[in-house]
Structure 1
Amino acid sequence: MKCLSFPLSWFLCGLFTYGCTTNAYASDEPWLTHAEFIYPVNTLGVDERPYLAVSSTQGVALLDTQGKVLSSIDIKSEHLDFRWLPESSQVGILSTLDINSGKVQLIKVDVAEGELRAMAEFSAKNTAIDALCVGSSSEHVELYTVDVDGSVQQLAINTKNIEHWYLHPVRDFTVGPNIKSCTVDDTAQTLYIAEENIGIWRYSANPEHEVNRTLLQLPTDLEVEYVDATSFGDVAVVSPDSNHIWLLDSTNTTFNPIALTHHVAPKTLQLQREGTSLVAHLFDEKSGHSRNIELSDIPTKQGGITQGEAQQSFTPYGQTQPVQSYGDAADDPAIWVNSKVPSQSLVYGTDKKSGLNVYDLEGKLLKSLPVGRVNNVDIRYNINVNGETVDIAAASNRTSQSISLFKIDRRTGLPSLLGDLKTDLADPYGLCMGKYGKDLAVWVNDTDGRFQKYNIEFNNNMATATMTMQWTVPSQPEGCVSDDENLRLFYGEESTGVWLKNLDEKSADTLIATTSSDVHADIEGMSLFTVNDQHYLIVGVFAVGANWTKMIDGASETDGLDVTSHHLGQALPDGLLVVQDGHNVMPKAAQNFKLVSGTLLRNWILEKIN
């Protein structure tokens, strides 16, 4: 045995493509000195650096190093943020806000061709946008917008179509009104939002994280205007009230002022790192001109905001429909393997506010049984019930303080309630099943630390439960799994670790993994997975990342899990991993379960042991 450890308020408009005008743009004012936003584009392998310019009087332009217009679009705009497309250093995304229509514009920047092309737009429904920014990872680019009411929308940009791009809602949350600007530090997955007269709010840009924020204060009389970040993690703020740039220190806790050599009233900021210097591209509200100011001897940041220990991440191929209940509702899954037609196997999942749900392998809800607040569920096969061989599911029911038993139709896999077997537990919590020879057992625990074993018998279609074992652990237990073949029970104590109970011996239970060194605290889901005849104990929590191709979010705040190594058809030759998702986004919805091919888990285990 080895232990391995939103409601969318934006109205998405029809997408279209603007025509691009190339060569010089007819204007009385040079872009490099009069545009409110100037951004030098760092292009790998190109000595001469082009510029992006956004102007409220001229529009959007791609300029050469001398300021000559290579391509322009006649959209009078404000705000500018830019990211390269994944795995590209020649084509990127410029985001800006059309000041006449109030629509966000996403513009394709092709540096190699010297061309701009508008690829998508959308407008706010019953509100207006105050701020926007973009962030990126190795897989995708995301757009963030903040409206006048202080609602943040996070949207993934799908750039696969060469004619137009699409936007997919990821999540939304509220920050409050009077927002002036925002920026994303990609290296630290951190979103910074500037609130006028208050300061800078810091959020995690990871949609799987809780929406928690930290206020980074600035002088109380300062009108905070613009915040920007470099790809190296530098973050700075400007205000037209002061001839300074405020730079976030190396601890990411304090903004320190740096006096500017020119007396300016900076209204906008585009920040870039050049070796040991920072270059601030500012628009001076006082003179109405753009300025470039170099800040020398600014060391590169070491590290950044700690995002936690890196975990193995699996990508889901699918997800179940959300549970009917909102809040902390979905909890524990169990996989029913169809021995006759493996591809028609099913996933059972508890909604601990209402009942038991059953899904197919694509996540479609097939049946829902409103049997009460069932918490954990497990399944055993080939049980003799009055001469009939059936499969049985059991669930801990907190409504009736009982074990709910279900008979499974072996043809369809759908359950029907046999009855509730009373326990003396005040709050039945974790549950797993075991089959030892012909004997069926249910292991169930209480939040008070008690563990109990019940032997289940059937007589005239009536089930009875007899408690045959009981013990107590110091802190709250939940997850457990029985290794029936080897007469072993593994169970988790959420704040301590994983215990092993040998069922054929009277020896003391053994702590085989501790939360301090081996597994994460809050141990809940666990299951057994077989690779080359070796059983592996799979214990949550681990990472299930987003599938950006299918727009399926990852899993976070995971409670229960189940896994099988059985062949489940051509699509799942090595089985299935099912993980509860406690924070369902893309878009925001009630909790659900994520579906991961067992091949990913198998390959990871083989990599670890070889």
Structure 2
Amino acid sequence: MKCLSFPLSWFLCSLFTYGHTKNAYASDEPWLTHAEFIYPVNTLGVDERPYLAVSSTQGVALLDTQGKVLSSIDIKSEHLDFRWLPESSQVGILSTLDINSGKVQLIKVDVAAGELRAMAEFSAKNTAIDALCVGSSSEHVELYTVDVDGSVQQLAINTKNIEHWYLHPVRDFTVGPNIKSCAVDDTAQTLYIAEENIGIWRYSANPEHEVNRTLLQLPTELEVEYVDATSFGDVAVVSPDSNHIWLFDSTNTTFNPIALTHDVAPKTLQLQREGTSLVAYLFDEKSGHSRNIELSDISTKQGDITQGEAQQSFTPYGQTQPVQSYGDAADDPAIWVNSKVPSQSLVYGTDKKSGLNVYDLEGKLLKSLPVGRVNNVDIRYNINVNGETVDIAAASNRTSQSISLFKIDRGTGLPSLLGDLKTDLADPYGLCMGKYGKDLAVWINDTDGRFQRYNIEFNNNMATATMTMQWTVPSQPEGCVSDDENLRLFYGEESTGVWLKNLDEKSADTLIATATSDVHADIEGMSLFTVNDQHYLIVSSQGNNRYAVYAVDDNNKYLGVFAVGANWTKMIDGASETDGLDVTSHHLGQALPDGLLVVQDGHNVMPKAAQNFKLVSGTLLRNWILEKIN
């Protein structure tokens, strides 16, 4: 065996497979010498690992370490990708493509029992599938398919039913035609797609991220055939036009060639990490035989394009119905607390292309008011209107350059429009309310940086607004929240951070939080949450899909960030690119004893739909804060 030296301490040991390699195939077993796809299954606590094999002439098989068939399914197939089921090292999912029916087959692999069982199939409508791959996390496994028109389907695999698995759509997007294969790097949440005459396209596998791609260039004359990735972040490509394995170096975002012997034309590829060695299992188009190649002393390199992971992720228990408008439409929520029947509290949410929506605590739409392009909304309680005590909601209305004011029925929680109070702002944007003694105030800003305070008064069922304060910030503001009791206003300058204005002092405003590696612009929605009589400011860090928390009673101490992730049991996606948010620590019934967090979701998927709002139990936030401060 000859070992060749390569840059970066890489070297190649050719271990051509005719029964004489490491973990050798038995030469008299046709599966291991003729199957186009061979994948060794690494299982914990098992000295002799089995193999999975996929053949266009024989079907699908589970083989023992000598290559003898333990179980097989007569489905002539191409493509092979495998993942363990969550929290399992003995049962996994094999995905392959039936060449006769054109359907993706999902097969249960029970290594302990030595059995294969077909559990689900999937076919694309009015088209044919060219490529498939699977990805996984600690909670679920996903299937990716690419059809002949270049449309990607991302689907979650529900494996709870022991008789049959089910597929749930997550998202779909277009990548273009002539796709040969795909692979997922689970560690970096990255999807790699091989376009035959172009190269390798890299996408985020996180459905909450925008569909942006990066081309990883290969030699222009190379017709890319197969790409594969390991769970450690190794990525490689082969083409039958070149006797090389092209290994990805994420540091330089390049593929480095590793030469094979001149008589090899690799058509397929399965990668496997074995200690410090990387092993490539190939099908040689020239000989029609399977081979394995050991790449020793290859350091693990990962190409993370996911913008990083938050320290902790909260799972939403529910979500609102999507807004009526498509595109960037849902924006800001406000929670109306029902003091008499807390479990019947409501969520207000703006559709900034249409009007104001009202939802129950399960997310069902109860009322929609088409009052114009309202952007932000807030609520205050116990307001005296001509001798009647009512609750009031206010929203910034970009259609009429006004403050839209609503009277809330204290029995049902549903609003009715009182009227629009004109401002001198050209583009009313962010808004919040404050109640200081008997004074009801609306804080509103413009995209040009102006911030204003209007005092609201009622006379004979007519509301009037008087501007009593104005200032300007250097760049665009939006989110704000008033701490009425302590006479302080927190407001955001999207590109800069969070400002504090003390309302009982004439001192200059203080920048209490800035954009950091954890907290990215844009600084968007914000609200106050109370734990043990202490106030915590929750801020949307829109630029990296996180939420930052500051202990504003403890010198504005930064506590950390969290994310709102997917609820795979209920098939509710997480939240990303959040504009507005609201939170309350009030008891909202047995299901929400510590209140509620509501966040706007900029990318509503699982399945793809117009934007909406995600609903998170306040208990998750309370417990997180207590862990941080104790």
TM-score, normalization by structure 1: 0.94
In the superposition, relative to structure 1, how do residues 377 and 517 fare at CA in structure 2: closer, same or farther (>3 Å)? same
8 Å Cα contact 1:179/1:196 also seen in 2: yes
Q: Secondary structure at the match of 1:8?
A: helix
Q: Secondary structure at the match of 1:13?
A: strand
In the superposition, relative to structure 1, how do residues 3 and 515 fare at CA in structure 2: closer, same or farther (>3 Å)? farther
Aligned to 2:36: 36
Aligned to 2:112: 112
8 Å Cα contact 2:338/2:344 also seen in 1: yes
In the superposition, relative to structure 1, how do residues 252 and 596 fare at CA in structure 2: closer, same or farther (>3 Å)? farther
8 Å Cα contact 2:378/2:393 also seen in 1: yes
Name the stretch that deviates more: 326-335 or 17-26. Answer: 17-26
In the superposition, relative to structure 1, how do residues 59 and 318 fare at CA in structure 2: closer, same or farther (>3 Å)? same
In the superposition, relative to structure 1, how do residues 425 and 576 fare at CA in structure 2: closer, same or farther (>3 Å)? same
Q: Secondary structure at the match of 2:485?
A: coil
In the superposition, relative to structure 1, how do residues 299 and 20 fare at CA in structure 2: closer, same or farther (>3 Å)? closer
Question: How big is the shift at 1:20?
Answer: 31
In the superposition, relative to structure 1, how do residues 454 and 250 fare at CA in structure 2: closer, same or farther (>3 Å)? closer
How far does the alpha carbon of each residue in 1:92-144 deviate from its partner, in whole angstroms, 9 at most, with x for none? 00000000000000000000000000000021110000000000101100000
8 Å Cα contact 1:13/1:121 also seen in 2: no
CA distance in 2, matches of 1:96, 1:490: 54
CA distance in 2, matches of 1:475, 1:487: 25
8 Å Cα contact 2:355/2:371 also seen in 1: yes
Question: How big is the shift at 1:349?
Answer: 0.1
8 Å Cα contact 2:18/2:27 also seen in 1: no
CA RMSD of aligned residues (A): 8.7
How far does the alpha carbon of each residue in 1:195-217 deviate from its partner, in whole angstroms, 9 at most, with x for none? 00110000000000110000111
Name the stretch that deviates more: 355-364 or 285-294. Answer: 285-294
In the superposition, relative to structure 1, how do residues 531 and 19 fare at CA in structure 2: closer, same or farther (>3 Å)? farther
Name the stretch that deviates more: 268-277 or 137-146. Answer: 268-277
In the superposition, relative to structure 1, how do residues 523 and 307 fare at CA in structure 2: closer, same or farther (>3 Å)? closer
How far does the alpha carbon of each residue in 1:586-608 deviate from its partner, in whole angstroms, 9 at most, with x for none? 01110000000000000001011
In the superposition, relative to structure 1, how do residues 517 and 119 fare at CA in structure 2: closer, same or farther (>3 Å)? closer
Q: Secondary structure at the match of 1:542?
A: strand
In the superposition, relative to structure 1, how do residues 51 and 195 fare at CA in structure 2: closer, same or farther (>3 Å)? same
8 Å Cα contact 2:270/2:282 also seen in 1: yes
Aligned to 1:196: 196
In the superposition, relative to structure 1, how do residues 6 and 109 fare at CA in structure 2: closer, same or farther (>3 Å)? farther
Q: Secondary structure at the match of 2:144?
A: strand
How far does the alpha carbon of each residue in 1:226-249 deviate from its partner, in whole angstroms, 9 at most, with x for none? 000112111110011111110001
8 Å Cα contact 2:26/2:66 also seen in 1: no
Question: How big is the shift at 1:581?
Answer: 0.3
Q: Find out whether 1:214 has 2:214 as its counterpart.
A: yes
Question: How big is the shift at 1:304?
Answer: 4.8
CA distance in 2, matches of 1:564, 1:23: 60
8 Å Cα contact 1:434/1:482 also seen in 2: yes
Q: Secondary structure at the match of 1:228?
A: strand
Question: How big is the shift at 1:4?
Answer: 54
CA distance in 1, matches of 2:576, 2:436: 35
In the superposition, relative to structure 1, how do residues 506 and 97 fare at CA in structure 2: closer, same or farther (>3 Å)? same
In the superposition, relative to structure 1, how do residues 516 and 503 fare at CA in structure 2: closer, same or farther (>3 Å)? same
Name the stretch that deviates more: 304-313 or 238-247. Answer: 304-313
In the superposition, relative to structure 1, how do residues 14 and 163 fare at CA in structure 2: closer, same or farther (>3 Å)? farther
Name the stretch that deviates more: 306-315 or 73-82. Answer: 306-315
Question: How big is the shift at 1:497?
Answer: 1.2
8 Å Cα contact 2:11/2:296 also seen in 1: no
Name the stretch that deviates more: 486-495 or 91-100. Answer: 486-495
Q: Secondary structure at the match of 2:8?
A: coil
CA distance in 1, matches of 2:29, 2:5: 62
Question: How big is the shift at 1:306?
Answer: 6.1
In the superposition, relative to structure 1, how do residues 16 and 438 fare at CA in structure 2: closer, same or farther (>3 Å)? farther
8 Å Cα contact 1:408/1:415 also seen in 2: yes
Question: How big is the shift at 1:276?
Answer: 2.6
> Gaps spanning 5+ residues in structure 1: where?
none
8 Å Cα contact 2:480/2:492 also seen in 1: yes
In the superposition, relative to structure 1, how do residues 110 and 499 fare at CA in structure 2: closer, same or farther (>3 Å)? same
Q: Secondary structure at the match of 1:124?
A: coil
Once the two structures are superposed, the pairs formed by residues 319-468 of structure 1 within 5 Å of their partners are: 319-468=319-468
In the superposition, relative to structure 1, how do residues 565 and 126 fare at CA in structure 2: closer, same or farther (>3 Å)? same
8 Å Cα contact 1:179/1:195 also seen in 2: yes
CA distance in 2, matches of 1:2, 1:533: 72
In the superposition, relative to structure 1, how do residues 296 and 263 fare at CA in structure 2: closer, same or farther (>3 Å)? farther
CA distance in 2, matches of 1:19, 1:258: 23
Question: How big is the shift at 1:252?
Answer: 5.7
In the superposition, relative to structure 1, how do residues 310 and 16 fare at CA in structure 2: closer, same or farther (>3 Å)? farther
Question: How big is the shift at 1:540?
Answer: 11
In the superposition, relative to structure 1, how do residues 3 and 609 fare at CA in structure 2: closer, same or farther (>3 Å)? farther
Question: How big is the shift at 1:521?
Answer: 1.9
Question: How big is the shift at 1:295?
Answer: 2.1
How far does the alpha carbon of each residue in 1:286-319 deviate from its partner, in whole angstroms, 9 at most, with x for none? 1111111222332233675563353432110000
Question: How big is the shift at 1:221?
Answer: 1.3
Question: How big is the shift at 1:17?
Answer: 34
Q: How many residues align?
A: 610
How far does the alpha carbon of each residue in 1:375-420 deviate from its partner, in whole angstroms, 9 at most, with x for none? 0000000101011110000000000000000000000000000000
Q: Secondary structure at the match of 2:624?
A: helix
8 Å Cα contact 1:427/1:446 also seen in 2: yes
Aligned to 1:245: 245
Q: Secondary structure at the match of 1:5?
A: strand
In the superposition, relative to structure 1, how do residues 14 and 418 fare at CA in structure 2: closer, same or farther (>3 Å)? farther
Question: How big is the shift at 1:518?
Answer: 7.4
CA distance in 1, matches of 2:21, 2:188: 37
8 Å Cα contact 2:386/2:460 also seen in 1: yes
CA distance in 2, matches of 1:13, 1:360: 64
Q: Find out whether 1:14 has 2:14 as its counterpart.
A: yes
CA distance in 1, matches of 2:336, 2:430: 19
In the superposition, relative to structure 1, how do residues 526 and 17 fare at CA in structure 2: closer, same or farther (>3 Å)? farther
How far does the alpha carbon of each residue in 1:7-36 deviate from its partner, in whole angstroms, 9 at most, with x for none? 999999999999999999999971000101
8 Å Cα contact 2:61/2:72 also seen in 1: yes
8 Å Cα contact 1:349/1:358 also seen in 2: yes
8 Å Cα contact 2:282/2:290 also seen in 1: yes
In the superposition, relative to structure 1, how do residues 304 and 420 fare at CA in structure 2: closer, same or farther (>3 Å)? closer
Question: How big is the shift at 1:55?
Answer: 0.4
Name the stretch that deviates more: 498-507 or 25-34. Answer: 25-34
8 Å Cα contact 1:149/1:177 also seen in 2: yes
In the superposition, relative to structure 1, how do residues 3 and 410 fare at CA in structure 2: closer, same or farther (>3 Å)? farther
In the superposition, relative to structure 1, how do residues 21 and 410 fare at CA in structure 2: closer, same or farther (>3 Å)? farther
Question: How big is the shift at 1:537?
Answer: 1.0
8 Å Cα contact 2:12/2:258 also seen in 1: no
The structure whose RCO (Cα within 8 Å, separation 6+) is larger is 1
In the superposition, relative to structure 1, how do residues 381 and 13 fare at CA in structure 2: closer, same or farther (>3 Å)? farther
8 Å Cα contact 2:136/2:142 also seen in 1: yes
8 Å Cα contact 1:20/1:71 also seen in 2: no
CA distance in 1, matches of 2:5, 2:483: 18
Name the stretch that deviates more: 3-12 or 109-118. Answer: 3-12
8 Å Cα contact 1:18/1:119 also seen in 2: no
8 Å Cα contact 2:25/2:66 also seen in 1: no
How far does the alpha carbon of each residue in 1:345-371 deviate from its partner, in whole angstroms, 9 at most, with x for none? 000000000000000000000000000
In the superposition, relative to structure 1, how do residues 15 and 420 fare at CA in structure 2: closer, same or farther (>3 Å)? farther
CA distance in 2, matches of 1:193, 1:2: 33
CA distance in 2, matches of 1:127, 1:15: 40
8 Å Cα contact 2:246/2:257 also seen in 1: yes
8 Å Cα contact 1:495/1:521 also seen in 2: yes
TM-score, normalization by structure 2: 0.91
Name the stretch that deviates more: 365-374 or 285-294. Answer: 285-294
Residue among 586, 591, 596 paired with 2:611:
591
Question: How big is the shift at 1:474?
Answer: 0.7
8 Å Cα contact 2:3/2:13 also seen in 1: no
